[in-house]
């Protein structure tokens, strides 16, 4: 019996070593898993940073494209004005004058038309990006208004969610609007004067819908004030101070009136062309009102400003509120020649 002890002792030793090895394997496996989790987390962080950087670059490039297209549109308008003056003042110096002038006009028109497809492509947004951007912008634009709207917390959340969904759909469909791919009904449901109130009619009553639509119109008008003010300042220094404020106020009053269809991107028939024609009529009404209130020099700057506005329409792609509570915009200028019917 005593001779079997070495075998027993050997088995015990082997068991101990096996247990140690298994424990070491488990520890090593746990360490490998932890390292893999860290690698995956780092990979996700890098992807997120790259995605954010790509989104920022896209917004910057879109903004630059919008500025260049606006400059092109204004340059085309300036060319048209100068050519008209030359035609009135000209003397028949060259027998080829008419042919050369016609060729120059055709070239300017071709350059303006070239911006159409590019503008539509710049506005194209995939559904995921459109929703993410709407979720970031809408609450900061409507939060203060919603706080004074008299709704309970649950109802406020429902309304904000509906506003996010509405804005995301508008962002997704802007390119199709500009390309003429929407039916009149689709255009009205997203870009008409009463699109917002119609889209939220299942959540709010009549008075609440009217207040919400009025606030949305106020935001749109505030955006237009920034865009128009920047254009007016580039036209000279005669219209500054109180005179400049009066000119802007009068123009905006006419655009954001019932006769001006409240500045909507499409007219009552769902057409951008109709909306643009409505803006042209609003400019004429504003000029007539200002005729006796501004000096000849100020009227000259007003006419140049209105001429610059007549050659296209502005689409606000992004509106945000900065830390000081001021509105910040990213907009696209579309030449009148490129507007769909």
| Biggest CA-to-CA distance, the chain | 135
Average pLDDT, the chain: 76
- Residue 75 in any domain: the answer is yes
Question: What whole-number percentage of the chain has pLDDT above 90?
Answer: 39
92, two tokens? 């028949």
pTM metric for this prediction? 0.65
**Two structure tokens written together for 218:** 């106020």
8 A C-beta contact, residue 237 and residue 155 = no
* Vertex 327: Cα angle to 51 and 280 (nearest 5): 110
Give the closest residue to 264 by CA, choosing from 196, 334, 333, 171: 196
| Secondary structure in 3-state letters for 106-163 | HHHHHHHHCHHHHHHHHHCCCHHHHHHHHHHHHHHHHHHHHHCCCCCHHHHHHHHHHH
d(CA 89, CA 101): 14
Beta strands in the chain (DSSP E): 312-321, 327-335
Residue 75 to residue 333: CA distance in whole angstroms: 13
- The DSSP symbol for 328 reads E
Looking at residue 126, its pLDDT comes to 79
pLDDT of amino acid 175: 87
Query: Is 226 part of any domain?
Result: yes
Taking 50 as the threshold, does the pLDDT of residue 291 lie above it?
yes
- Domain membership of residue 166 (yes or no) is yes
Say whether pLDDT at 336 is over 70: yes
pLDDT tens per residue, range 113-172: 444 555 555 566 778 888 888 898 898 888 888 888 888 889 889 999 999 999 999 999
Average the pLDDT over 88-107 and give the result.
Answer: 47
Place of tokens 């140049």: 304
> Which of 200, 226, 231, 197 shows the shortest CA–CA distance to 214?
197
Split into its structural domains, the chain has a count of 1
pLDDT > 70? residue 68: no
253 CB burial (10 A radius; 0-12, 13-18, 19+)? middle
Reduce the secondary structure of 287-318 to three states and give it as a string: HHHHCCCCCHHHHHHHHHHHHHHHCEEEEEEE
Is 31 a domain residue?
no
What length is written for the chain? 341
In a domain, 185, yes or no: yes
User: Residues 271, 165, 63, 117: is their CA dihedral positive or negative?
Assistant: negative
Categorize the per-residue pLDDT at 322 as very low, low, confident or very high, splitting at 50, 70 and 90. Answer: low
Section 269-290 average pLDDT: 96
DSSP, collapsed to helix, strand or coil, labels residue 56 as: helix
Tokens standing for 112?
Answer: 């303006």
Which range has the worst mean pLDDT, 104-108, 193-197, 244-248, 270-274?
A: 104-108
For the segment 269-287, the average pLDDT, to the nearest whole number, is 96
Tell me the C-alpha distance between 243 and 33, whole Å. Answer: 71
**Two tokens, residue 238:** 């005669």
41 is a domain residue: no
Q: What per-residue confidence (pLDDT) applies to 314?
A: 87
| Residue 91 region by backbone torsions, left for phi larger than 0, else alpha for psi between -120 and 50, else beta | beta
Q: Is 17 a domain residue? A: no
- Domain assignment of residue 34, yes or no: no
Q: Assign residue 86 a region: left if phi > 0, alpha if psi is -120 to 50, beta otherwise? A: alpha
Residue 19 pLDDT grade (very low, low, confident, very high; cuts 50, 70, 90): very low
Distance separating alpha carbons of residues 224 and 264, to the nearest angstrom? 11
Whole domain around residue 230: which residue ranges?
A: 62-82+101-338
Distances (CA, A) of 337 to 111, 112, 113, 334: 11, 7, 6, 8
Q: DSSP letter for 320, please.
A: E
């Amino acid at each position: 019996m005593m001779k079997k002890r070495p075998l027993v002792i050997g088995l015990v030793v082997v068991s101990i070593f096996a247990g140690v090895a298994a424990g070491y394997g488990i520890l090593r496996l746990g360490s490998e898993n932890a390292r893999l989790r860290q690698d995956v987390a780092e990979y996700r962080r890098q992807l997120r940073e790259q995605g954010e950087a790509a989104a920022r670059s896209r917004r910057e490039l879109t903004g630059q494209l919008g500025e260049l297209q606006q400059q092109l549109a204004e340059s085309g308008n300036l060319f048209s004005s100068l050519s008209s003056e030359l035609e009135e003042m000209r003397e028949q110096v060259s027998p080829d004058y008419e042919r050369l002038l016609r060729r120059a006009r055709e070239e300017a028109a071709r350059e303006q038309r070239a911006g159409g497809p590019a503008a539509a492509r710049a506005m194209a947004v995939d559904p995921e990006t459109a929703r993410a951007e709407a979720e970031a912008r809408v609450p900061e634009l409507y939060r203060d208004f919603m706080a004074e709207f008299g709704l309970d917390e649950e109802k406020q959340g429902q309304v904000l969610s509906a506003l996010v969904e509405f804005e995301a759909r508008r962002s997704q469909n802007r390119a199709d609007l500009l390309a003429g791919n929407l039916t009149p009904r689709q255009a009205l449901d997203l870009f008409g004067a009463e699109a917002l109130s119609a889209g939220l009619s299942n959540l709010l009553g009549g008075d609440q819908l009217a207040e919400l639509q009025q606030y949305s119109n106020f935001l749109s008008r505030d955006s237009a004030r920034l865009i128009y003010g920047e254009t007016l300042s580039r036209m000279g220094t005669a219209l500054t101070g109180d005179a400049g404020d009066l000119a802007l106020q009068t123009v905006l009053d006419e655009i954001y009136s019932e006769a001006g269809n409240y500045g909507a991107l499409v007219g009552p028939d769902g057409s951008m062309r109709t909306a643009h024609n409505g803006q042209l009529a609003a400019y004429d009404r504003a000029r007539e009102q200002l005729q006796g209130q501004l000096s000849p020099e100020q009227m000259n700057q007003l006419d140049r400003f209105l001429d610059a506005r007549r050659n296209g329409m502005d689409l606000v792609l992004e509106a945000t509120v900065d830390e000081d509570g001021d509105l910040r915009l990213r907009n696209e200028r579309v030449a009148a020649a490129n507007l769909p019917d």
